[in-house]
Structures are given as structure tokens and as C-alpha cells.
Amino acid sequence: MAEQTLASKRIFVTGATGFLGSYLVPRLVAEGAQVMALARSEKKAAMLAEQGVETTLGDLLDLDSLRRGMRDCDIVIHAAAALDGSYDEMYPATVIGTQNVMNAAADMGVRRVVHISSVAVYGLIGRDTFSEDAPLASAEYPYITTKTLAEKHVQRIGTERRVEWSIVRPGMIYGPRAGLWTKGMFQLASLRPTPFIGDGSGSASPIYVDDVVEMLVRVATNEQAAGEIFNCMMDPTPTWREFIGAYQRLAGNTRWLSIPVLPMYIVAGISMLLAPRKSILRDLPDGLGWLVRKKRFPMDKSRQLLGWEPQVSLAEGVARCEGWLRKTGRLK
């Protein structure tokens, strides 16, 4: 593994005040990097400045602000993206924003862009083993389609304009302050009984936020990571029953309600027929199948090229969320 140090490197981060960015930025600073960040407001810029981060006001659609922020930078870590909304709402930030990041990096002579994607690009149907060279699946769900398009632009622009790129595909990132995969899962686990479609034996794909940050640091500093894509999750993956059950233990709850799958398929099929194009409802039957299926996301490449594998077990990761859940009043 040909690795470099981040000390004295100038690194530009998008999404620095988001969930993942709020863990990534302090780690980069601790490694001795000079961190630059894109901030959409004076308030967010002030928050970053308190951490010793230089900021540029702007957004992903403002190419000039991206160029200013990347001036003299060695590495860009692109963590910003739209997480929900309609296709038309998500497309500008996720797709056009990624194009702008890549073009700005080329304009400013940045050595490498590390793009944070998602295992969602594999889609909801097809195979049960998803290695990094698996073909990307089509879907109607806007998050999947926009993330897939963004990846394609990273590779195309990187090749055409000679910018090194690496892509990281995390699973369900959880940890203190996480939305859906901590707050949402704990709320579900607190219901007595906890309802779930099927018996929960299908594969979930959680990964603790600190493990994701560790991979990003290694990808940014490893020469062999150029032009490579990396899955980022636990291998083997835990089941939904195990993932939600870890939150149930925090909530003092052991009751589980298995909802029969077949009636839900009927409801999903009707919803699909009535849903407009580019709606998550069009993928509902496939989503149910994805929920109950056993899947694997091999970590072989990450182990071999990066020497990376998750260090935080599911039990430890969920236990680390306890203090935040208490502080926010969710765990009594």
C-alpha cells in the first residue's frame, strides 16, 4: 500500500457541515491537513472557522466559488448531495453539483477527487452479491438515479480532464447525530411491538461513521486508490433483525411484529401502477424484495488495497449512540 500523509496537504471538502462531514473535518484537521470547505451561509462558515477550517461561501451550482475554494488544493473530498426530494429537486445538487466539482478540480489542478457515493447505485433488483465491478441498475427512485448519474460524471470528467478520482460507496451510515439510520431506526425500535415487513432475516448494510471516515482518509492518501471504487460496509452484513434489535436493546424492547410479505407486495404493486414516473413508489415492489433478501457486499478490494475493514462492531456502534439519544430526549 503506497500511502502518503495528510500533514500539510490542502483538502477541500463539500458537505462539511453535514452528518458525515461533521466527523470527517475534525479527523482531517487532527491529521495536520489544511482544510478548506464550502459553506452555504455565514452561520455555517462561522461553525467551521471555530474548527480551524478556511471557508468559501457558495454552493455546488456556483462554479466560481468552487474554484476559489479549491485554489492550491491537493485533494477534494466531495461529500455533499441531495438526500431526498423529487428527481427535479435532487438533480441540481447531486448531478450538476458533481459535474461542477469535477470541472473546478480540473481547472484548479487538483490531484485527486474522492467522491462519496452510495451502495444505492446497485439498485434494488438482480444479484445478491454486489462487488464493485457489478453493473449499476436502473431505478425510478430519485436518490438512486441521481447518485448513479453523479458517479458516471465523476469517471467521465476525470478521464477527459485528467483528474484522479476515487469513489467510495458506503452503506447505511449510522452514529450519533445520524438521521434515518440512528434517529429513525431508534424510533422504529421503540415501538412496542416493533413492526417490520417479514421476519427481519434480510440483509441490512450499516456502517459506523468513524469507519467511513477512516476509509476516506485511506483512499485520499493511497496511490493505488486512483481510479478505483470501494464498497464501505460490514462484511458479512448483519440482518435487519440484528440491526434494529441493537436499538431495541437500548429502548428496553424485545417485542417484534412480523408483517406478512405477500399482502405488502399486493399493496406495493397497486401503488406502483398509480405512481407518477421518477417516484419512489414505482420501485416499491423491488424495494420490498431488497428488504427481505440476503445480500453481500464484499470488502475484498478494501482489505487488499487499503488495509481497511470496519473496526466498530454493530453492538459497539449502537452503544456509542446512547449518549446522544439521551441528550436529545429520545432515550428516556
Contact of 181 with 244, CB cutoff 8 Å: no
What CA–CA distance (Å, rounded) separates 310 from 302? 10
* Catalytic annotation, residues: 147
Q: What is the CA radius of gyration of the chain?
A: 20
What CA–CA distance (Å, rounded) separates 69 from 108? 10
What CA–CA distance (Å, rounded) separates 269 from 281? 9
Contact of 303 with 211, CB cutoff 8 Å: no
Length of the chain: 332
Q: In the β-sheet with 229-232, what is the strand arrangement from edge to edge?
A: 54-57, 34-39, 10-14, 75-78, 112-116, 164-170, 229-232
Q: What is the grid cell recorded at 289?
A: 424484495
CB within 8 Å of 50: residues ≥ 6 apart? none
Residue type, 63: L
What CA–CA distance (Å, rounded) separates 42 from 312? 35
- Report in angstroms the alpha-carbon separations of 255 from 94, 120, 248, 294: 39, 30, 9, 23
Q: What is the grid cell recorded at 116?
A: 462519496
First to last CA, the chain: 46
